[in-house]
Structure formats: C-alpha cells, structure tokens
A and B are shown apart, each in its own frame.
Chain A
Amino acid sequence: MSQSYSLAMKRQPLGLKLLIWGFISLWLVIAAFPFLWTLWGSFKMEPDFFSKADWFNAILAPRTIEEHGTAFIGDGYHGAWVQEEFWKAVINTTLVCFFVVCTSLTIGTLGGYALSRSSYRYTFWLLITALIFRAMPPITLVAGYLLPFFEWNLWGHLTTTVIVLVAINQPFTLWMLHSFFQKIPKDLDESAKVDGCTQFQAFRHVIIPVMWPGVITTGLFSFLLAYNDFAVTSMLLSKENQTMVPKIASFLGTTQTEGNVMFAVSAVVSATAPLFILVLFFQRQIVSGLTQGAVKG
C-alpha cells in the first residue's frame, strides 16, 4: 500500500520535486545541525568549543591545536568512559530501559486491550482519568515519593525507578495501545470466544499474534521516555545506580569544573549513538506499527 502511494506521488512535476527536496533538506539541517555541531565539538577542548571570544574557534580549534598538536582529541571520551566510568551508567540505563519497556508493555497491553473491547461508559471515564493523571507535573510526583521511599528503604534502587517510570508513563501507553487495539477487528476474538475460549485465551491465541506492530511502536515511545528521563532518575537513584542522563548532569553540576563539561558533551554524543542504531533497526516497525492501528483520539 505504501508502495503504491509512493508511486502515485512519484508523478511529481519538477517544481514540486525541487520544493520537497528543498524543504526536507532545510528541515534536516535544522533538525540535525545542533547534534552534528556537538559531535564535532566533542573532539575539541572546552575553551574552543565554548569560546566566548569567537564561535569560529569551535571550528578551527586554535587552543586544541596549541595544546595537543592536533585538532581532534579524544580526551572528553576518555574522561567520561574511563575516568568517570560512564559505562556503569550505560549498563544501568540498559537495565532500566529493558525492564521499563517490558513491564510497561505487559500491563499496558492487558489494560489497553480491555479498554478497547469493553463498550461500557466506565471505559471512557477510565481513559479520561488516565489523561488527567498525565497532567500531574512529574516533579511534584517525585517530590512526594521521596519521603515514603526513604522511610521504607525503597530509595535509590533501580527497581523502584523502573516501577515509578512505568506507572508515570502508563497513561500515555494506555491511550496509545487502546487505539491500536481498536483497529484490530473485534470479530477475531469474538469468534474465538464463540469457539469456547475464555477472554484471556482469546487474547493469548488470537490477539497476541497480530498485535506486535502496535506494541513495538508503543514500546519505542516507552523506551525513549525511560532513556531520556531526568526528573525521576535524578531524584530517585543513588550514585552507584545512576543512569546516563543524571550522570551527564553530574558532569556539569552547579560548579562546572574544567574538562568535566567536555565529558558531558562526549557522553551526550555517546548516549545518542545507540539510538541511531535502534531507530535504523526499528524504523520499518515504527511505521508499519502505526500503520496497523494508528493512534486515535
């Protein structure tokens, strides 16, 4: 289907083609430039990349050349990965993301499926309540968790953070999955139930095999939320359990120490690299996933 649509669009007059190319190129520059700039700068010294005298220093790197004899240095990466043990944060992030995505999808799938298959009024109100829940600012939630978590000795653990991230992101997950399930024809599981399956058996044998595209897309959003989260992870994790984003923030701190800023820049670049691979790998699923269900307001 997407093929034929693209074909239809291929019959474009030259002017339109140029316009599209021009617009997309412009967008790519706007979208990617700050990142590419950071990537380039991560191999410089701080006084060059953050030069207050002339931004051109970030390109020519006079001080870096003066001090190191070359315009490209890996000091930032060495400092972040070896000296500050950024790899520990990478492992923690991997753990948090993996468990957040799994838990979030498991309970979200069950809930989203139920919401899409029940036509009682309360499903509507449940969805609205979930939306109102999402309106609560995360910083307030986190500030509220601190006291009980410290009291019950739950603070600082990865498990606690995973559960909190799952819970906070449930409204979004639920809305998205609910929309996906609505696009899966109800006849499928209804006929299974006629054949004598329970609701859960119908879900397990009929729905699970066809739900993956939608689930994978929702999973990607859950993943990004967990990966990028700062509000929760910075407040609820102890030093040794820190994930990447709070770790990067700790390189900066309130008192920026020389060199540490470049650790942060290098770490940000390092943290984005896996996402590149992930998006390339999943881009077909993202698209086909949304294709299957599409989110429906």
Chain B
Amino acid sequence: MKHSSFFWFILPTATAMLLFIALPIISVLIQSVHTPHDAVLIETENCGPFGCTTATTIDQEATRALRDEKPLGKFVGLDIYFDRGHLAIDEVAETWANADSLGQFFSDLNNLPFYRAMAFTLTFTFSVTPLMLVFGLMIALGVNALHQRIKGVLIFFSLLPMIVSPLIGSLVLFWMIDSRGIFGSALQWLFDDPDLSLKASTGLTWIMLIVYGVWHAAPFSFIVFYAGLQTLPQDTLESAQIDGASRWQQVRYVIVPHLMPLITFVALIQLMDNFRVFEPIVGFNSEAHAASLSWFIFNDLGGETRLLSSAATSSVLTIIGVSILLTPVLIRTWRDFNAKS
C-alpha cells in the first residue's frame, strides 16, 4: 500500500487516539514530574455551627502569584517516582541494610504500598491468565462437541459472567460470599468450619479475587477459542486420527497449535487487563487485603485532597509495567511480522 493512501486510511483512527490517548499520556508524563507549589499557609480563625477554632489555611493571594508564574507547578524530576508511595528507593535501601535475612527483607518490603500491590497484582495476573486460558479452551472444546441446536443458549449463558455488569458483582456477589450468604454458608458446611469467612483473611481474599477473575474472564477466551475451532482444517485432524492419535494427542498436537495465534491474542489482552485489576478490589471491599496500581490511582483521585502527581506517576508506572509484562509476547509478534514481510 502506498504511503499516501495508508495515511488517509489511518487518519481518522489515529486522530482519535492522538487526541484522546496520546495527548493525555503526554500531559500525565508532564504532571508526574511536577508537583504543586509550596503552599503558603496562614493562621486563621474559622467559625461554623460548632463555634470558632484557630486553624491554618492556604493564603490564596500568595499562592496564586506562585501559580501564575509557573502554571505547571514545581519541577521535581523523578522525586515522585522514588517517594514512599511509589518505588520507595530510600525505604528499600534502608530495608536492605537493616534486614538480617532475605525473608526479613521481603517481609519488610511488603510493608511498602507499591511492593505490596505488586505482590498481589503479579500473583493475580499469573494465576488468572493461565487459568482462564485453560478453562476457556475446555469450555470451547466441550461446547463444540455438543449438539448444534443448543449452542445458542449455551453461548449466551457462557457469556453471562462477562456481560453481567461489575455493579452486580459488588452487590449480589459480595453478599453471596458473605459468611451468612449462600456461598459463604456452603463453604462453612463444606469445610466444617463455622468461623470460616472469605473476607476476613488475606489468603482467602486473594483466592476469592482470583476465582472471580477467572470466572469473569473465561467467557472471553471461550468465545475466541470456540470461533477458532470452527476454522480447524478437517483433513489435518483426520490424518491425525488415522495415525492413531488419542484425543488428548489431537488436542495437544493439532488443536492447540492451530489456536496458537488466538491464544497469544487473548494472553496479551488478559495480561494487560489483569495487571490493571481494579473493579473486583473495590467491588468486594477488599482494600484491606489487596491493592493494585489502578487502585492507587483511584485512591489518589478519590480522596478529599486529590494527589494528581501521584496518580500520574502511578499511571506511568502502569504503562511501564504492562510494557515489561508484554515484552516476550511483543518480541514474538515482531518475529512473526518480520517472517511475514
């Protein structure tokens, strides 16, 4: 394709992405290396329904002068990246120096928000992604082996976990897993432990979030793999059968290689989405046990005093994290691309 026609074809979508994604990313990058100016504080007397108190407040006149001079704020370089809320360079170094053993070091590291969030996020990502791939493939193989007529209904019900809005997750599921809800009670009965509560311990909360993650994402891999199965070349499968391949061998050596490009695609999207896990944490009120970078951003932006630079920094760290996570897959795509052209 000629450069000029390529340009015109790509122009609308590129414009949309430039305006609404690229520009915000640039502004976020700028924001992440700036902080608000030092606030000029003054002592004032504040009065309200409950009497008067002496308190400090910001001197708007003085602060405005600073702001007008440098509207972006104070340039701080990578300070925010390295502060305690993010990479916590100083604290990590201190922990390293004070720790007697490696175990001690990691347990102290777990006290820093960023590393604690990473511990959960990576566990979540690397359990949910493979599980949902395997689970989705199994459902796809199963549904595919069933009768044509009932497939429509089967597909709808299989899609439900993906399309039922996250709101219902936070409301109905949260109640169902309560220690007096239907799942909670069932588990107590199953494990014969009347005090069992999924919400009270960190380990169980993680398991709960992972199970929810797989449940929520399996339909996506199911529908993609199911479609992929429809394109399976029949002769390859038949020749494998003639060669006496068992069903397991057919799946292992014929079906999975055929689906490989799809598996890569789903893995790519899922690695990214799971790394940014957010909705289940808020939905299940599990802030006490699990956090992620996306949750940090939410917390920074949702507080009474918003931390814009901190949120910007967490966003940039998310992009960097996703890039690192996707590198192996991207290298593979690069090779495929070069092989093709």
Contacts and interface: CB of A to CB of B under 8 A. Distances in A.
A248 interface: yes
Nearest to B4: A199
Nearest to A24: B142
Interface in A4-42: 4-6, 8-9, 12, 16, 20-21, 23-24, 27-28, 30-32, 34-35, 37-38, 41
| A interface SS class | helix
Contact of B264 (A120, A143, A168, A297): A297
Contacts of B247: 16
B315 A137 contact: yes
A20 B145 contact: yes
Contact of A5 (B142, B151, B229, B332): B229
* Chain A interface size, under 10 / 10 to 19 / 20 to 34 / 35 or more: 35 or more
B333 A113 contact: no
B14 to A, nearest CB: 7
Name which of B17, B181, B185 has the most chain A CB atoms within 10 A of its CB: B17
Interface in A272-297: 272, 275-276, 279-280, 283-284, 286-291, 294-297
B165 A294 contact: no
B311 A37 contact: no
| B interface SS class | helix
B191 interface: no
A181 to B, nearest CB: 11
A174 B16 CA distance: 12
Contacts of B185: 55
Contact of B232 (A5, A119, A203, A276): A5
Interface of B: 1-3, 5-6, 8-10, 12-14, 16-17, 19-22, 24-25, 27-28, 138-139, 142-146, 148, 151-168, 171-173, 175-176, 178, 180-182, 185, 215, 218-219, 223-224, 226-232, 234, 237-238, 241, 247, 261-265, 267-269, 272, 276, 278, 293-294, 297-298, 301, 308, 311-312, 315, 318-319, 322-323, 326, 329-330, 332-334, 337, 340-341
23 contacts: A3-B148, A12-B145, A21-B146, A24-B142, A31-B215, A38-B172, A52-B180, A54-B180, A107-B13, A107-B16, A120-B6, A127-B333, A132-B322, A137-B318, A144-B28, A170-B21, A175-B265, A199-B2, A228-B163, A286-B227, A290-B224, A294-B262, A297-B265
